[in-house]
Structure 1
């Protein structure tokens, strides 16, 4: 009887051992199958742009963002990423347009895109800025111009004068969309700060005025004064008759001649047409926008550049203006660069310019609406 019991115990132990061994190999098989599935999954092809923007946020939020952007990402990707590192925010240099899922995840974790800065100078036109982008980033000027024209809200003024950091390798359409979105974000932010709302149509009327100011003012100090001249002339029904409005597009840096004034039939010609042009002339700065919204109160209707300083002399009457013009007769241009000194203006204007604009009431844009061609 004892012999039988011992034998039975041995059989049970042997069975337990066999079961344990079987379970061990089953687990190994399961792990191997899982690894094979994961390895197969990681070799699946992924199509991507050469550079990719990743917003700040948790891994889950970034995965969601990538899915919305057309990348098929799931919980397995999230687990792999969390096990191997974390996704960097900002621009990512993917480098290739077709790669494996493994390479794509590796790029997300490790590859910051190389950035290159480019500056849009206040007063420059999109015509020349697109040429500059094409040259510095080795892109097609024709494609840039085509995409710009297809998506621009106005002929110009769609890109704020500023310095931009752009990833090397970004294609033409992405660069244009990036510049437009960055500008629109800043326009909206500035508009809400002043008016509490952002009405794009109304805002661009200010951009039109700001572009005239940008082209005409010699310094930032002069901008609110030039703005007052524009407003005063519009209120009196006078044509602006400003050379700077003819420095649009490819004529940005051209000398305005009598022939140009006679022959240019565009809405930019404020010698020929009453009111403001229908489009901004150029890229504007925040300073010129501020001047357009908060001009000084003055009686000025005229201004002329002083050949000695490069600054403008302002006048309230045509007779005063003629005296300022005569002061330039026989005087050669002696300045090489306009010094940012305060322009000589009346006491009232000086006091207004020194006040904080946050305490000022924005001017009504009714006159602007009625004076756009």
Structure 2
């Protein structure tokens, strides 16, 4: 039998080709692939997933598509890849088996980007400076772009991947909401709405007040009056600081609407859908002023300065 095999040149050639092919596959699957600790995999077919990874600089190609078919079906979501370098076969196996441990982070309406990112950096043992730098490199707005939500985040995610995930999730949410309301996503118009909504978010005592607060903003702008609203000074690291008379005098930033005309240059915080709706559809009022009623926790609105002064005096 063996003699016949050796004497048959076609069988010998086939055997040689099979050996060479097997060795090539073994060598190929043993090659290392550089990877981060966790990798996000979208839902889709094997070909789509391989293309997704290739577009994100993973060294994968058509051969890996067929290799995965033999191993199993890739999972969607965050995958724990351990990080560093993995043999190609181990990388492909982990795509089918290794779900990452998850945690949750929540961004509430009214919070500023830097306070939120610093907080989650502390919770996830990340570098807050790098996380903020990565956000600034990716986001079109310094604040107010991240959408309030509870995000599921894999433990071990890097600063770059977290920033990318948060920014892209928010971008998708903004575009979907804008198209639902306007039928299109006009970035300039939408960002102005976010800026107005952020002032509403900082100033309104509750959602029910938001359309009325919005009307005051538009009424003052239409009359050429400065907004003179404390909430615009709760930007950035000042998110939770009380706005004092000294702060109003000394803050020379563009966010000081006591010293500057018009709106702040950008949103001052994350905004809720309710605040966005109020910015788009303000109440129809003649109010120009409001002051917080400490007894009710709501605002008293006024059409004239004299009426407003009476409301302020009542709080003293």
TM > 0.5 between the two? yes
Q: Distance in 2 between matches of 1:326 and 1:71?
A: 66
Residue 173 (structure 1) aligns with: 160
Q: Is the 8 A contact 2:226 2:262 kept in 1?
A: yes
Distance in 2, Cα, partners of 1:236 & 1:76? 67
| Matches for 1:1-373 after TM superposition, within 5 Å | 18=4, 30-329=17-316
Which structure 2 residue ranges, 5 or more long, are not aligned?
Answer: none
**TM-superposition CA deviations, 1:314-344 (whole Å, max 9, x none):** 1222232223223323xxxxxxxxxxxxxxx
Q: Deviations over 1:21-55 (max 9, x none)?
A: 95777666554443333222211111112211212
Cα gap change, 1:261/1:75 in structure 2, threshold over 3 Å: closer, same or farther? closer
Which structure: larger Rg? 1
**How many Å apart are 1:158 and its aligned residue?**
2.0
Task: Give the whole-Å Cα distance in 2 for the aligned partners of 1:120 and 1:67.
Answer: 32
Instruction: Report if aligned partners of 1:53, 1:91 keep a CA contact under 8 Å in 2.
Output: yes
Determine helix, strand or coil for the equivalent of 2:86. Answer: strand
Give the secondary structure class of the aligned counterpart of 2:279: helix
Say if 2:198 and 2:267, in contact at 8 Å, map to a contact too: yes
Q: How much does 1:145 deviate?
A: 2.2
Cα distance between partner residues in 2 of 1:185 and 1:64: 21
Task: Check conservation: 1:302, 1:316, Cα contact below 8 A.
Answer: yes
TM-score under structure 1 length normalisation? 0.79
Displacement of 1:82 in angstroms is: 1.0
The structural deviation recorded for 1:95 is 1.1
Q: 2: CA distance between counterparts of 1:74 and 1:205?
A: 43
Partner Cα distance (2:139, 2:65) in 1: 38
* Aligned position for 1:360: none
2 CA distance for matches of 1:213 and 1:315?
17
- Number of equivalent positions: 315
